[in-house]
Amino acid sequence: MPSAYEAYCRSYQSIMRLAVQFLDWTEPTVLNGKGAIADLADLIQKKGYKKILFVTDEGLQKLHLPDTLLELLKERNIEVFVYDKVKPNPSIASIEEARTMYADNGCEAIIAMGGGSVMDCAKAAGARIACPNKSVAQMRGELKVGRKIPMLFAIPTTAGTGSETTIAAVVSNPETHEKFSINDPHLRPKYAVLDPELTVGLPGKITSTTGMDALTHAVEAYIGQSNTKDTERAAKDAVRLIFSNLETAYNEPQNLQARSNMLLASYYAGLAFTRAYVGYCHAIAHALGGMYGVPHGLANAVILPVMLDWFKESAWHRLAELADAAGMRDCGISDEEKARAFIEEIRRMNRNMQIPSTIKEIQDEDMDLIAERAMHEGNPLYPVPKIMNKEECKDVLKILKG
């Protein structure tokens, strides 16, 4: 019989499942394929925008990745103001700087080119523009924006976060060493540009960990209890594409087809989890990112198989279905056999891509706070297969620490 706390969590999740049916789940318009950024420049010109805030990071600037799009916009007499100070795990200070640049220059729309941190910074800056009397912290949680943000065009340069199609922006507060999410349909970009040329040559470490982040999105969404037929289909498509393309993209950085398929996989995984939610992998990963700066994709890659082991029979049937979707053959007959084979395949992929099996940054004296923060994020919101408490979370952290 479930405890009173478990019953409370499940009741909360049931209410949320009903409530979200009344939200706007319009998906972004996708510009897909090699050279899609040129299509974006034409689109922006047709829409009549004259001043654009361009959010990116210094790393991409040094690689000159934004240059082509910036030149295309210049040729169309569109004035662009570049904010390139976004760091991994975007801070409130970065968000405010981007917001100020938008306002001071009379910008009319936002382009975000980069990984999840860049897109999250742009989303949160858009929320601040729409809600000038609300601080970033005041928009933490669910449905706190409530207003239309400026037009947002999202261009991912990694295949992992799916932020180009999600309603979430993850923010870091360096003062408290904490990460939190702003979740609101108004944050969802109107256009997503999936151009594989922007991810060709991405370093192996980034390819592997962002790819496993996308897999975590798809798996956590699928095994959770808030799916729709659309989210189930998107999650399965993402898993199929990741299992058949991630290691190819890792081993063959110039493989344009594998890169394109991984961008699609990340997008599908984003479609799945933005409606069906994530789970405890993300709750723990966010806590570790805030506490130690552990890269989000790396944390998820390490946590995922450990967390799936913890769920045991509560997730076996759904994991068995994902094993089938991934095209795994001869991995058993029963749900348990298929599920265990699926989890082991994730571990094998991690090993083959040089991803560690532990997170050495975890300190014994911090476990209590990490577990508290993870459970604060995860419960009662995330519709996971089995409800975890703080002590159980600490047990998982001990395994992760090794």
Question: pLDDT digits over 258-279, tens only?
Answer: 999 999 999 999 999 999 999 9
Residues in the chain, pLDDT under 50: none
pLDDT at 88: 85
For helices 67-75 and 36-47, what crossing angle results, to 10°? Answer: 30
**CA distances in angstroms from 342 to 45, 282, 324, listed in the order given:** 47, 19, 9
| DSSP symbols for 124-192 | HHHHHHH-TTS-TGGG-EES---SPPPEEEEEESSSS--GGG-SEEEEEETTTTEEEEEE-GGGS-SEE
Domains of the chain: 22-198 (3.40.50.1970), 201-401 (1.20.1090.10)
pLDDT at 222: 98
Single-letter residue type at 8:
Y
Which residues, including other chains, have CB under 8 Å from residue 43's CB and lie 6 or more apart?
Answer: 31, 191
Nearest residue to 264 (alpha-carbon basis) of 251, 247, 245 = 245
Number of residues that make up the chain? 402
Single-letter residue type at 398:
K
Convert 150-168 to b/e letters by CB count within 10 Å (16 or more is b).
bbbbbbbbbbbbbbbbbbb
How far is it, in rounded angstroms, from Cα 346 to Cα 253? 21
pLDDT at 175: 84
How far is it, in rounded angstroms, from Cα 120 to Cα 163? 7
Number of other CB atoms surrounding residue 115 within 10 Å: 27
How far is it, in rounded angstroms, from Cα 306 to Cα 181? 23
pLDDT at 176: 85
Q: Could you tell me the end-to-end alpha-carbon distance of the chain, in angstroms, rounded to an integer?
A: 33
How far is it, in rounded angstroms, from Cα 291 to Cα 304? 19
pLDDT at 30: 97
| Segment (H or E) for 11 | helix 4-19
